[in-house]
């Protein structure tokens, strides 16, 4: 296994590149999401934003930042990374004070311990089994703390599925997606703590362990 090989299938990356201009409809309940029945979604988005705003960090990395919908609420000096040029273009327009880099989540183009906080929202759940530990190791190499936000387990979805997704232009895509219980996510991060356990979202946090002689976090 090449531990530095990029994560996330090419087809899923292409899907997000194509979705960039309509992506925020999912957060805002507009466009194709206006007709979705999502009770308490807007209130929980506000709760999530409040949680994100409470995270203390002088230098913060948002991995797979997308359109920077959540990035804008992070603290400190902010760097956002995403593989999609179209997502990065929207993010730069939204948050001109931050630095946005079109780059990979694995490997991340930063030195060890470059950030106090590494944040990743709705990215971890797209990673296949063998990709997860590589992402976690990389996030905890460049950051002292990792906060992961993802989709909450619900009765109407499987914990893991390949979903059919249709975009406004009629194109159809297949996306690998997981749903989490909050304790389950915290456990997967390596014994982290739960920050949010909602109907739609979960969030968990883990601190980097002590570093080995080679400088890598030991878990």
Ligand X SMILES: C[S@@+](CC[C@H](N)C(=O)[O-])C[C@H]1O[C@@H](n2cnc3c(N)ncnc32)[C@H](O)[C@@H]1O
Burial of residue 114 (CB within 10 Å: 0-12, 13-18, 19+) is middle
Separation of first and last alpha carbons in the chain: 20
Q: Which of 51, 73, 82, 152 binds ligand X (CB under 6 A)?
A: 82
To ligand X, the closest distance from the beta carbon of 156 in angstroms equals 19
Angle between the N-to-C axes of helices 85-94 and 10-19, in degrees from 0 to 180, rounded to the nearest 10: 40
Interacting residue with ligand X among 7, 45, 98, 118 (CB under 6 A): 7
Question: Which residues, 118 to 157, sit near ligand X by CB under 6 A?
Answer: 121-123
Asked if residue 45 binds ligand X (CB under 6 A), the reply is no
Cβ proximity to ligand X: between 122 and 211 the closer is 122
Using the contact rule CB under 6 A, the part of the chain among 29-37, 75-83, 139-147, 188-196 near ligand X is 75-83
Residue closer to ligand X, measured from CB, 51 or 65: 65
6 contributes a contact to ligand X by CB under 6 A: yes
116 binds ligand X (CB under 6 A): no
Residue 8 found at the interface with ligand X (CB under 6 A): yes
Are 205 and 178 a contacting pair, CB within 8 Å? Answer: no
Evaluate the omega torsion of the peptide bond into residue 107 and state whether it is cis, within 30 degrees of 0.
Answer: yes
Q: What's the CA dihedral at 208, 57, 4, 104 to 10 degrees? A: 160
- 52 forms part of the interface with ligand X (CB under 6 A): no
Site for ligand X (CB under 6 A): which residue of 104, 116, 138, 188?
A: 104
Give the whole-angstrom CA distance, residue 190 versus residue 209.
10
């Amino acid at each position: 296994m090449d531990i530095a090989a990029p994560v996330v299938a090419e087809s899923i990356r292409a899907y997000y590149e194509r979705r960039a201009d309509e992506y925020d409809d999912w957060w805002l309940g507009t466009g194709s999401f206006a007709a979705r029945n999502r009770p308490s979604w807007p209130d929980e988005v506000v709760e999530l934003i409040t949680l994100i705003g409470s995270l203390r960090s002088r230098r913060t990395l948002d991995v797979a930042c997308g359109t920077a919908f959540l990035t804008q609420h992070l603290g400190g000096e902010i760097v956002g990374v995403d593989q999609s040029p179209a997502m990065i273009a929207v993010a730069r327009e939204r948050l001109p004070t931050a630095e946005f880099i079109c780059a990979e989540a694995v490997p991340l183009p930063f030195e060890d311990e470059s950030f106090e906080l590494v944040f990743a929202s709705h990215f971890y759940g797209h990673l296949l089994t063998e990709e997860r530990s590589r992402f976690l190791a990389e996030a905890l190499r460049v950051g002292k703390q990792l906060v992961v936000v993802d989709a909450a387990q619900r009765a109407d979805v499987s914990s893991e599925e390949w979903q059919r997704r249709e975009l406004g232009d009629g194109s159809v895509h297949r996306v690998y997606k997981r749903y989490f219980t909050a304790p389950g996510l915290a456990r997967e991060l390596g014994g982290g703590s739960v920050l949010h356990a909602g109907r739609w979202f979960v969030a968990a946090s883990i601190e980097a362990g002590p570093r080995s002689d080679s400088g890598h976090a030991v878990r």
